[in-house]
Amino acid sequence: MNLTYAATARSLSKSGETPIVFVVDSDAAVRESLELLSRAAGFRVRTAASAEEFLASPRVTAPCCLVMDLRLPGLSGLELQQRVSDRTEMPVIFMSAHVDIQATVQAMKAGALEFLIKPSVGDVLMHAIRHAVERSQAQLRQLTQVHALQQRYESLSRRERQVMNLVVRGRLNKQVGGELGISEITVKAHRGKLMRKMQAGSLAELVHMAANIRPGVS
């Protein structure tokens, strides 16, 4: 099975860096086992014995996932999950030697991808990791697209932003002109420029773009 997962890891990394599996567990034997298993499958691995050790490392921008024990010294696994909740590109997989229904429900509600019971079968864990990395890649692609979209929006002039914000709300050119105190011809000119800058082929596409950007000051 390792050959299958290694091929998957290579395919996942074709467009960028090799995916990283972060392992946080206080048991050195568990860390070593997960590291060997993940490396054999073609992934990079970074391990930590505690949440604090993990948090002390710099954040990376690469396809990744976090595999961690529920019970950790210092900050618990659930507390670490909360601390990294903004890292949407890093799906979380929990592992625990004990069945804890309340903790499982809390972890899943907070967005955990899987909650596995130790010792997990290698194929089960690697399937979860593969799924997590695929989700991470999708999220990174989305973040890249949103960033590019935001940059295009920020390239608009103040007036072009004002026109765009009104147009995507369904205002007609004449209505936009009335609200901004400019002629309909001027509105059309601004509209044409902003459509080109935003690389929008239609009004529907522009409306979709507007839903994914932070308007800021207009």
CATH assignment of the domain containing 134 = 3.40.50.2300
Q: What is the pLDDT of residue 24?
A: 97
**Is 95 inside a domain boundary?**
yes
Residue type, 23: V
In the listed set 86, 110, 141, which residue is the last one of a domain according to the structure?
141
Q: Are residues 199 and 107 in the same domain?
A: no
Q: Environment class of residue 66 by beta-carbon count within 10 Å: exposed (0-12), middle (13-18) or buried (19+)? A: buried
pLDDT score for 99: 80
Count Cβ neighbours within 10 Å for each residue of 173-202 and write b for 16 or more, e otherwise: beebbeebebeeebbeebbeebbeebebee
- What's the pLDDT at 218? 44
Q: What is the CATH number of the domain that holds 193?
A: 1.10.10.10
| In a shared domain, residues 15 and 114 | yes
Tell me the two tokens of residue 125.
Answer: 């864990």
Alpha helix (H) residue ranges in the chain: 2-12, 28-40, 51-55, 77-83, 101-109, 122-154, 158-167, 173-180, 184-198, 203-210
122-136 per-residue burial string, b: 16 or more CB within 10 A, e: under 16: beebbebbbebbbbb
Pair (21, 95) in one structural domain: yes
Distance in angstroms (rounded) separating the CA atoms of residues 215 and 134:
30
Tokens of 108: 């899943």
Q: Residue 95 belongs to what domain range?
A: 2-141
Q: Tokens 């992934």 identify what position?
A: 43
Examine the domain organization and report whether 31 and 110 are in the same domain.
yes
pLDDT at 16: 63
| 167 and 135 within one domain | no
Q: What's residue 216's pLDDT?
A: 60
Verify that 46 and 115 share a domain, yes or no. Answer: yes
Q: Would you say residue 218 lies in a domain? A: no
What pLDDT shows up at residue 2? Answer: 37
- Number of structural domains in the chain: 2
Residues 167 and 115 in one domain: no
Calculated CA dihedral for residues 102, 104, 110, 114, nearest 10 degrees: -170
Q: What is the pLDDT of residue 120?
A: 74
pTM given for the model: 0.73
d(CA 201, CA 196): 8
Q: Are 19 and 45 in contact (CB under 8 A)?
A: no
Per-residue pLDDT of the chain (218 residues; tens, 9 = 90+): 333 334 444 444 445 689 999 999 999 999 999 999 999 999 999 999 999 999 999 998 899 999 999 999 999 999 999 999 999 999 999 999 888 899 999 999 999 999 998 877 788 999 999 999 999 999 999 999 999 999 999 999 999 999 999 999 999 999 999 999 999 999 999 999 999 999 999 999 999 999 988 776 44
